[in-house]
Amino acid sequence: MHQTDDQKETVLARIIKHSSASQDRYESAQILLLEGGANGDDRSGDEQQDPLRIAARLGDLEMCRLLTCIGKMSPLSALRFDDDGQMVLKEETSENEHNMFAILQLLRAHADAGSTSSPGHQ
């Protein structure tokens, strides 16, 4: 299930990136996560292809919630520590601007809840 296509994308990454806002995307991602067809290692080795990081970059709060709650993906894959030691999104783009604060709150809460291994991981 960790196979990638000719663009080095996994099935989960393609679902996350699909432009449709339909509920089908979320249901498909949830099925993959629940059936073990995707997990935190479900990427091509390229950090830019990390599923949670993609969802955060796109401003998809619901997908971020699925990936952290059901997929148990580490929030630190989409977070970094700024110069003041505060956790911030690795990528702040115009695409995630409208949901940036909510996504940041969600990921920080999961990081603070101990769902991550080490605070120094970036």
Which of 66, 88, 93 minimizes the C-alpha distance to 78? 88
Domain positions in the chain are 11-112
pLDDT at 43: 45
Confidence grade of residue 1 (pLDDT, cut at 50, 70, 90): very low
Q: What is the dihedral of CA 105, 114, 80, 75, to 10 degrees?
A: -70
DSSP code string of 55-112: HHHHT-HHHHHHHHHTS---GGGSEEE-TTS-EEES---TTTTTTHHHHHHHHHHHHH
pLDDT digits (tens, 9 = 90+) for 90-110: 988 887 788 899 999 999 999
Determine contact, residues 62/78, Cβ cutoff 8 Å.
no
Q: For residue 118, is pLDDT > 50? A: no
pLDDT at 108: 95
pLDDT at 8: 65
For domain 11-112, give its CATH number from 1.25.40, 3.40.91, 2.50.20, 1.20.1250. Answer: 1.25.40
pLDDT digits (tens, 9 = 90+) for 62-94: 999 999 999 999 999 999 999 999 999 998 888
pTM listed for this prediction: 0.79
